[in-house]
Chains A and B, each alone.
Chain A
Amino acid sequence: MLVAIGAFNSQNNLLYWLFGLSLGMLIVSGVLSGIMLMAIRVEREPIDSPEAGAPLTLTYRLSSTSQLLPSFALYIRDQVVTEPGEKTASEDAVGSLAGAPGGFVAFVPARGTAIGHATAQTTARGRVRLAGVHIISSFPFGIVRKSLYFPLPTSVLILPPQGEEIDRATMPDRPAASTAAASPSEAGEETFGLREYQSGDTPRRIAWRSSARTGEMRTRMLASASDSSLIVALLVQPGAGRTHVDRAVSLVASELRIASRRGHRIGVILGRDQRAAARSGRGHLAACLHRLALHSRVAPLFRSESSTAGNVRADVVVVAGPEGVSVVAGGNARERVA
């Protein structure tokens, strides 16, 4: 605009030339960015669950339907839902990110695809809901900024962070956990090897990934885990703040991770309705962490004072109270906590 005013004011033809060039760049920028952007389609790729504090990386598949022009310099902005969700979802702990995930794709070929990544810093465990993706482009000159919105609702589970390890030496009663080695068995839960697929094998035990990689159907051989187990209970007392709850959750998660890594069967008790029996395997650990990540309610640990813990016995009870976090160990945890 300044160049135009200068040209009209001075009647300087070189300024008219600059004005014409600016006009040309503006038009080309508007047209090209529109053509390049309108041809873009976006799909989400699988999202992993990071621990709180770790980076969240979202992956997208961008494809171009344009027959003519490739697309350049595409900014990706994922939209985080900040409003409360549905009633059931709102009971889950809401995770948070340090900012909206952002990424950049330099080039998407015409009639081709490209993979883009957006990252953000995770700050708190829980579920983060993502509404959709903005694809923004100001190519080629940064003069005209255009964006497309793709509603791709999904959610990301942010797991509890790796907290400090519980110092069992200071606990009044140490939980006993055997360290018996796992023994191979066809009836166990932990994979210890693969064999060729045999007729009659259940599809649930087919190692799909390995089969896909090798081109031959293979079946997983399972081993039974150690008999030792560790059940950790989390008690959130009324008045406990989010900070204390999160710390307690991270302690429980750490305990479960360590125990799982050492081959113990693990279980978690988050309330009378949320119990995970002691089992082994990565899947079970993931399920336990999943429950921990979403745990938000202040729930009684046991049905009543007179009742027992049923058939579940907590080896470690982590208590989040208004004043802080405490850890109680041993088989009489209920009495001690009560």
Chain B
Amino acid sequence: MGGALALPVPAAVPMGLGRFRTLATTTSLIGVLSFCVADGKPLLFLLALGTAVVASVLGRGGQPLRLPRPVLNSLVIVSLLYSAVMVGVRTNVISDLTDFLIIVLTLKLLDRTSMRDEAQLLGLSMFVVIGAVLTGAQLSLGLTLVVYMPLMIGCAIVWQVHRGQEWAADIALRAGTPATAVRSAGAASLWQGPLLRVSVLIVVLSLAVAVAGFVVTPRAVLPGGPWGRPSLGAVTGFSDQIRLGAAGLLSESAEPVLDVVLRDDTGQVLPPLPEALYLRGAVLDEYDPRTGVWRRADRARDVRLRAYTGRPGNRQQLEYYSDLVVPDFQNNPAPSPAERGAARTSDDPTTNDDSAAPDEDPAPRRRARTHVNQEITIRNASGNTATPLFSMLRPTEIVFSTSVGRVEYDPEDATLRRHGEAGRLTYTVQAALDYFDDSTARALTSRYLSQRVKDLAAQLRVAADVPPATSPQGQPLEPAVVRRLARQITSHLRANYNYTLEMVAPEGDEDAIDMFLFRTKAGHCEYFASAMVALCSAGGIPARIVTGYVGGEHNPLSGSYLIRASDAHAWVEVQTSPGRWETFDPTPPAELQHNRRASSGIFSKIRQLWEALELTWGNNVIAFEQSSRSTVTTDSGIIDGENLRSVGRALAKVRMAVAGILPSGLLGVMVLVVGLLAVAAAVVTVSRAVFRWLGAAGNRAGRPAGQGVAAPAFYRESIEALKRAGFSKEPATTPKAFALRLAAVDDGIGHAFAAIADRYYAIRFGGQAEAPGDRHLLAVLTDRIRAHKSEVP
């Protein structure tokens, strides 16, 4: 007898395990890439990539490299200790933990011997991706996720097949059977065949359900509120505090921080403005010469900050102008100074002159003014601190598109700040093209100023033909005189001082402003602005520093301005008359990137396209929340009754149209039936084509080698014939056993069916084809059955 049945072992075929390993490695590396993109750690990705390459190269015979277990465990322990230390030192726990996961994943690339290891590798990559999602929200991260997710789903699907093979082979080996004897036939060809097609179907279905789940899932915070929301990446280059006197080289970051779209009241995107965008963030009007720190002065008690809740859809008036005029930038790209009237803003300090701005003080709140709508997106606002809501000019109204937390409006300096969670914020500010302000002038206290500064201010007054001030509380200067003096100071600073990002520290008790004005004579925008405010104050003109962003790059594809961290800037506002502040920028204009215009090169176009996609991604995916969900599901009418009624009306129209076309009477009914049948046939044809594509046509040609063959027709017919004669074969009964049972009843039938069973086995397992003689066997059986019936009464 000799043991097990001689099985029909299929031809040895490559099981595709090597390809699966490559797929798993690629998927894992893309998972690592997603985190490295989100957290800006290219070296970590290079480490994983290099390890994967090394493991692939050093692997012998297609088997992955495997490190000795003690070495592997030691490396894991070392990386764990390092990560534990880093978690204690730094504050970004998620980033550090994900670093650790990536290191473990990298080590896992060197230790893959079973499908379980592959599952661990893929599981680690999944956690790394979650870490990436908790760390960043960039478009590049989104793109890596778009690639990662289908690959991950494919890996999970193929893993199921390979794991089953491994499991069965393991059992077979334990039982002493060669693994090839139990290997499932045709598994290798599944890669190119049905498995690939079904995988595509599953990926599409999963992603479709994912999109639906993403849209309809309510955006409701868990009871008890968030349990510590992670920061979404690095903070911007903007600061609402200036600290002078720090040594070192400042590095410019090209990281995008703001997107600004200028619109008119009809929602039309405005063309790029010729003027520079000065996006005000914070007003700093108090200076401490001992520390060199500019900060926002504490407001008097009678100044009441106006607080609002920044919920999506909330609209808040910040001023009470009733005679606002919408500028028509389409037909008249920039309002002329005459149009702006006396309230022209000095939004372009480099061209500010007296002829454009009358000296008389405008009548507050009654002058015709223009305004502009600014749709501003802060890509990554920091949380847990007061964050400015940037705005060009003076905000008069704000509409929130996302939850921004608690918003405060300070009427004294016309700035907006918010307190809330970190993340992406979008709001629309309506700003007047008027710089009227009725706030109280807050000049830099002159006692902080050194005598050298006062002397220089006096020289500049003389140079500007401004009469010497008798006292700071004396008769205020005429606006034109103030402008003249401010321009003189601006010109002096631009002409005699250099712009640099390489700073030195003050010596001893030296004031940082003094250092800039009289020793180094070089500095960045904060020094220029500080010096101008100091000189203005010493000259008797109220002035203050404003920090924010200037410039930006207009993207014609998205119609938006992209503001980068390197666009952070500090400039000066000078009070030219009571309640009126005008902007002056003493920083040499060559150093500023005023409204950069993208070049027309191909790379520039690609970059613009990328940035436009990034803005779309941010506004439609990252900033998608409850209001967006309502808009998609309800407000737009996708699932409301009106839509259903529309469908009903459309169907009624179709019915009417069909009734008009069809002939009346029976002929019409027949035509209708034929038409419906034709439609049904078309649907069936298309469906069959789809099923065929899915590999559903199982019994047809193209079956993988070694795969089971359906029972031959003569066998099936013999079973049916026997069933009709009262001999039913149970599924658990083998053909040979059935033949024996038949022989016990009727020897002739049993032997006739035994012959059929032999042929059945020869065809099923022996690789033989059906022969004409097979039908003869069926005929013999039929004769036996007939004879049996004749014998049995």
Q: Which residues of A contact B (CB under 8 A)?
A: 3, 5-21, 23-25, 27-28, 32, 41-51, 54-57, 59, 61-64, 66-70, 72-75, 98-99, 102-121, 138-142, 150-154, 159, 203-204, 206, 208-209, 211-213, 215-216, 285-286, 289
Contacts and interface: CB of A to CB of B under 8 A. Distances in A.
B214 A68 contact: no
A152 B187 contact: no
Given A67-B691, A106-B184, A20 B130 contact: no
A103 B171 contact: yes
Nearest to B773: A215
Nearest to B2: A51
Nearest to A76: B168
Given A27-B209, A113-B710, A203-B747, A119 B194 contact: no
Contacts of A105: 184
B508 interface: no
A202 B134 CA distance: 83
B133 A102 contact: no
Contacts of B219: 11, 16
Contacts of A6: 130, 134
A57 B762 contact: no
Given A21-B207, A140-B160, 6 more contacts: A59-B7, A70-B695, A98-B175, A107-B186, A114-B184, A212-B777
30 contacts: A10-B226, A11-B421, A12-B137, A12-B229, A16-B219, A19-B217, A20-B210, A21-B207, A24-B205, A28-B206, A54-B176, A55-B3, A55-B4, A59-B7, A66-B696, A70-B698, A72-B190, A99-B171, A106-B185, A107-B704, A110-B695, A110-B696, A112-B707, A115-B8, A119-B171, A140-B199, A141-B153, A142-B159, A152-B732, A285-B1
B345 to A, nearest CB: 37
Nearest to A7: B217
Contacts of B423: 11
Given A102-B168, A140-B157, A72 B734 contact: no
Contacts of B569: none
Nearest to B225: A9
A43 B732 contact: yes
A15 B195 CA distance: 29
Contacts of B421: 11
Contact of B202 (A9, A140, A150, A206): A140
Contacts of B621: 13-14, 17
Q: Is the interface of A mostly helix, strand, loop or mixed?
A: mixed
B622 A14 contact: yes
Contacts of A104: 164-165, 167-168, 182, 184
B164 A109 contact: no
B698 A10 contact: no
B1 A159 contact: yes
A28 B200 CA distance: 12
A18 B160 contact: no
B208 A24 contact: yes
B175 A56 contact: yes
A72 B198 contact: yes
Contacts of B3: 50-51, 54-55
B177 A57 contact: yes
Nearest to B219: A11
B447 interface: no
B691 A9 contact: no
Nearest to A130: B732
Interface string B684-714: 0000000100111111000110011111000
B696 A70 contact: yes
A337 B699 CA distance: 64
Given A72-B160, A102-B168, A23 B210 contact: yes
A42 to B, nearest CB: 8
A332 B621 CA distance: 96
Contact of B175 (A120, A152, A212): A120
A10 B696 contact: no
A85 B584 CA distance: 101
Given A55-B177, A105-B184, A120-B175, A64 B5 contact: no
B590 interface: no
A289 B214 contact: no
B122 to A, nearest CB: 11
A41 B205 CA distance: 27
A2 to B, nearest CB: 9
* 7 tightest Cβ-Cβ pairs between the two chains A and B: A109-B698, A112-B698, A20-B213, A24-B209, A104-B168, A48-B5, A106-B184
A24 B423 CA distance: 27
A68 B3 CA distance: 40
A113 B213 contact: no
B712 to A, nearest CB: 11
Contacts of B177: 55, 57, 119
A107 B184 contact: yes
Interface of B: 1, 3-5, 7-8, 129-130, 133-134, 137, 141-142, 145, 149, 153, 156-157, 159-161, 163-165, 167-168, 171-172, 174-177, 181-182, 184-187, 190, 194-195, 198-199, 202, 205-214, 217, 219-222, 226-227, 229-230, 421, 423, 621-625, 691, 694-699, 703-704, 707-711, 731-732, 734-737, 747-748, 751, 754-755, 758-759, 761-762, 766, 768, 771-773, 777
B221 A9 contact: yes
Nearest to B216: A20
A326 to B, nearest CB: 27
A210 to B, nearest CB: 9
Q: Is the interface of B mostly helix, strand, loop or mixed?
A: helix
A69 B198 contact: yes
A24 B184 contact: no
Given A57-B4, A104-B165, A21 B206 contact: yes
Contacts of B703: 109, 112
B494 to A, nearest CB: 46
A56 B176 CA distance: 9
A62 B8 CA distance: 16
A283 B694 CA distance: 49
Given A5-B222, A25-B153, A211-B755, A45 B4 contact: no
A23 to B, nearest CB: 5
B734 A44 contact: yes
Given A55-B4, A215-B773, A117 B182 contact: yes
B310 to A, nearest CB: 14
B1 A9 contact: no
B695 to A, nearest CB: 6
A212 B214 contact: no
Given A67-B691, A70-B198, A28 B175 contact: no
Contacts of B161: 72-73, 106-107
A10 B213 CA distance: 17
B420 to A, nearest CB: 11
B732 A44 contact: yes
A75 B170 CA distance: 13
A112 B703 CA distance: 10
A10 B176 contact: no
Which of A8, A159, A212 has the most chain B CB within a 10 Å cutoff? A212
Contacts of A116: 184
A73 B160 CA distance: 6
Contacts of B691: 67-68, 110
A55 B160 contact: no
Contacts of A73: 160-161, 164
A46 B171 contact: no
B210 A21 contact: yes
A14 B4 CA distance: 55
A57 B130 CA distance: 45
Contacts of B622: 13-14
A336 B221 CA distance: 92
A12 B697 contact: no
A73 B184 CA distance: 10
Contact of B771 (A70, A75, A215): A215
A117 B181 contact: yes
Nearest to B174: A121
Given A12-B134, A203-B747, A117 B7 contact: yes
